[in-house]
Amino acid sequence: MNNNPLIPSMNSQEIPPSDIENLSKNQLKNLMNFPDQTLIKFKDEVSFNLVPPSPEISAPVIQAMQGLVQIIAHLRSPNGSWPSDLPQTPENLIPYVTEEVSELLAAYQTHPISASNIKSDSFPKKDSSIQTPVILFLNTLISQLLWNFAQTSYQFMRLLTGINAEILLPHQDWTPGKLRLVASLIIKTENFQSSIDLATSDSPPTLITSEAYLQSNDCSFCQNPLEVQSFVRQITHHFQDNFQGFNLLNHPIQAEFLSPKSQWEPIEMSIEIGFQFIPDSKTSEVSPFHYFLENAPVDEELFQNTPIQDVEYSILASIPHSALLKTHVRLTDPNIIQPYIQTQIKYYGLHGLQRKKQLQLTNSVNSFLTLDSQTEESELIELIQITDELVDIIYSSKSSSSLIRLQPEIPLIDLSLRLLWQIVKSSYNVMQLMSGIQAKVLQPGFLWQTGTLRLLMVLSAEFLSDSWELDIATSQPLKFDLKPIIPESIIQSDWSELCRSPQSLVVLKLQIINLLETLPELQSWMKGVKIDWGNSNEDLELSPNWQSGLAQLSLDFEWIPAQPGSLE
């Protein structure tokens, strides 16, 4: 076993000395297959783990937009008395929301979204007299960069892991399938170039042509058909607007790398993005930890007419596993409705207003402050359109009817993914723990063990006749065969700053809870909220009746001991 605390000591793949000696200078690229033994040294000062400040909608704009959302939602509800023969267009909505949309326009004029709102002293200052180089293992750098992308926005996390979409290629028909944003780390030396897909830590897949068109209802970037090259530009601009830290997407950086039995060699690193598309007539949602956690195939027959003690998953709902993830949750608790609505305004409203700002720049519109009556009416219509899209997202994005309920309704899979993003963006260390880290554990009454420690975030719900537990990391029902760990155990891992020194599992759990409870939406879910659970889709097999109950987000740890004979 390697006793050096700076080198991962569990499950590292050893490179036979004979193989290394046989490598020539032109074959150094083969060492990229061993990212846990390749070091990257940065010449310039870099910082990864902080969440940098990003453009935000100001509180007055959020308040004004929330008021407009509520008015439009009421007008579109069964009790809104909207004329049945009048289309619900922004132009037709103006007479009913003139006061509210004018207040929103005034708030936006006074508090526009601008990068100048970001204070330069928001980043922690370091002692300039200490010039300690940052040295990381390549696999650590890959996961850091992936987190930097994923925490930027919920849309980025979904795109990195795959969304349902359609593609139109030249001389072909529209084809459904799975669309994934591929962010590749490019490493160049004088002798070779290597590319690594941040999501899979493998070679990037074949990317679709820039002339193709994409459309997806699961992504606000491409609700309408959009050419791939335009999509890539939007992604790049969005990342520029929302991430002010270490940014390889826009600025290549000089560094050095060192592999076993070699010398330090200068490199240039950058990130390139593109899209992978996998045609599939039966699309489905994917968890961001699809690439990190290996899940056994699910036997759907287990969930049909089977006694609960024989079921592999912790689910009492009398519907198939696949149908559970298609059910919906209605938010009925005021303690979660307001934070939820404000969160959607912050993210989707921000994107809508930034899109509006980009269109203004494209059309050379100078300012809101000198608007003639025709231009002002156009601005009001655009704001109503953005808000109307928010109403669909917040209350009933999948509804086939123009009428909505005033209690936000969310597909269970979407709720799981939204909670996951809130958790992941809270901290890089939390994302590491959710994907599983190599660790040592001393449980009372046992010897030290090596294995994998995984943070388990579980959304559980109890109803009068049903219950279920959802593993947030995998967006799957919680398995019965999880291996719990004794709370009084001691954890040590070279892979996480939270337990690089021996740490009590109780203290580690409290640290994570305190961190997550700083986010208002997560705080409400962790305390427990009232929800209704069911489904409005009549063609869903064994569709459950709507039931009222209580849902709660909790955390625990899973311990997976290393298999006998594995390398340490």
The whole-chain average pLDDT of the chain stands at 75
Label residue 102 by pLDDT band (50, 70, 90): confident
Question: Full-prediction pTM beyond 0.85?
Answer: no
Q: Report the pLDDT averaged over residues 208-229.
A: 89
Q: Report the pLDDT averaged over residues 283-301.
A: 43
Task: Concatenate the DSSP letters of all residues of 17-65 into one string.
Answer: HHHHHT--GGGGGGGGG-TTS-EEEESS----SS--------HHHHHHH
Q: Does residue 404 have a pLDDT over 80?
A: no
- Residues 357 and 117: their CA atoms lie apart, in Å, by 15
Q: Report the pLDDT averaged over residues 464-474.
A: 87
Q: Report the pLDDT averaged over residues 73-98.
A: 81
* pLDDT at position 170: 86
Q: Report the pLDDT averaged over residues 520-540.
A: 80
Which residues face 452 on adjacent strands?
438, 560
Contact yes or no for 418/474 (Cβ under 8 A): no
The owner of tokens 């690193």 is 269
- Residues 26 and 173: their CA atoms lie apart, in Å, by 44
- Residues 308 and 438: their CA atoms lie apart, in Å, by 33
Q: Report the pLDDT averaged over residues 234-251.
A: 72
Contact yes or no for 411/470 (Cβ under 8 A): no
Label residue 4 by pLDDT band (50, 70, 90): very low
- Residues 302 and 304: their CA atoms lie apart, in Å, by 6
- Residues 537 and 413: their CA atoms lie apart, in Å, by 15
* pLDDT at position 291: 41
H/E element holding 229?
helix 228-242
Write the pLDDT tens digit of every residue in 429-457.
999 899 899 999 999 999 999 999 999 99
* pLDDT at position 556: 92
Q: Report the pLDDT averaged over residues 370-374.
A: 54
Burial 487-517 (b: 16+ CB within 10 A, else e): eebbbbbbbbebbeeebebeebeebbeebbe
Q: Report the pLDDT averaged over residues 169-179.
A: 90
Sequence spans of domains, the chain: 31-78+86-108+334-360+374-403, 135-143+155-235+249-254+263-279, 410-561
Query: CA angle, corner 95, sides to 93 and 98, nearest 5?
Result: 95
- Residues 232 and 333: their CA atoms lie apart, in Å, by 39
Which residues face 493 on adjacent strands?
none
- Identify the three-state secondary structure at position 82: coil
- Residues 237 and 281: their CA atoms lie apart, in Å, by 32
Q: Does residue 568 have a pLDDT over 50?
A: no
